[in-house]
A and B are shown apart, each in its own frame.
Chain A
């Protein structure tokens, strides 16, 4: 199964995009959660607060489907 992960800012460098400036193509096993997929490509899930797919917020327990385009959002802690 193929999904596409996107991110900007500092998280982008961790994502190591390969499709365009923001996007990485990821081949993964179906049925895995986003958290497991991130761990599988070497991204510590602690660097991702939540994700967006088609304008909807997804937690890291979301199980992606084939072709999903998912934007990763970083934790934001400053004030």
Chain B
């Protein structure tokens, strides 16, 4: 049951038709990567009253992160992202239970990371780790909310095989990736908020608008296109799931 304080905090969203705050309170979301995408999604999941956030990132804050990673400030530089993110989230909403995992996905058993989660939010910064996450989500049948950015461009999708295709249906893992990705700061903000929106809708029992689809956001021309990601019958991953 929601307390009086919680009823007040969430009063504006409780007004939404069909809203169930208790469902959010009971849910756990995993956010892997606390950069620009993870900053936006973590803040809004916490503000909405998610019960538990499992945060995974092994990096420390750098000054060059601050144009887009809104969880951090100048005083965060050099400190572990999960710790700084945890403090910021706790200040925003102390009722959110936090699990802080200060490792990179590659060096951590991804299967362990997913245990007990209702939804996976991708805040990663490389394709290799995204494919690991995609594969683990397939094994565990937990929805994977993909997000990625480059320059003015952002992608977001919601994959839940066998109902939908997966990341490997969309693209190959061996694509070109630059060492240093240019990013206009608001782009991961927008994509991260789309990911948070889709996560909350899923938890609420509302069909995510990006289920089996891909949002292509172009910040330079301010266009939002949504396309269907057809299941690839010869997908090396999900066709056998």
Residue total for B at the interface (Cβ-Cβ under 8 A): 44
Q: Are A77 and B232 interface neighbours, CB within 8 A? A: no
142-189 of chain B: CB within 8 A of chain A:
147-155, 169-172, 174-178, 181, 183, 188
* Bound Cα distance A9, B235 (Å): 29
Residue total for A at the interface (Cβ-Cβ under 8 A): 22
Q: Are B227 and A76 interface neighbours, CB within 8 A? A: no
Residues in chain B near residue A56, CB distance under 8 A: 227-228
Q: Are B218 and A8 interface neighbours, CB within 8 A? A: yes
Q: Are B175 and A78 interface neighbours, CB within 8 A? A: no
Tell me the total A-B contact number using a CB cutoff of 8 A: 87
Residue from the set A48, A76, A78 with the largest chain B CB neighbour count within 10 Å: A78
Residue from the set A9, A76, A79 with the largest chain B CB neighbour count within 10 Å: A79
Instruction: Tell me the interface secondary structure of chain A in the complex.
Output: loop
Q: Are A57 and B228 interface neighbours, CB within 8 A? A: yes
Residue B51 interfacial (CB < 8 Å): no
Q: Are B153 and A74 interface neighbours, CB within 8 A? A: yes
Residue B123 interfacial (CB < 8 Å): yes
**Contact pick for A79, options B35, B169, B214, CB 8 Å:** B35
Interface residues of B (CB under 8 A from A): 33, 35-38, 122-127, 130, 147-155, 169-172, 174-178, 181, 183, 188, 214, 216, 218, 220-221, 225, 227-230, 232
Interface residues of A (CB under 8 A from B): 8-10, 44, 46-50, 52, 55-57, 59-60, 73-79
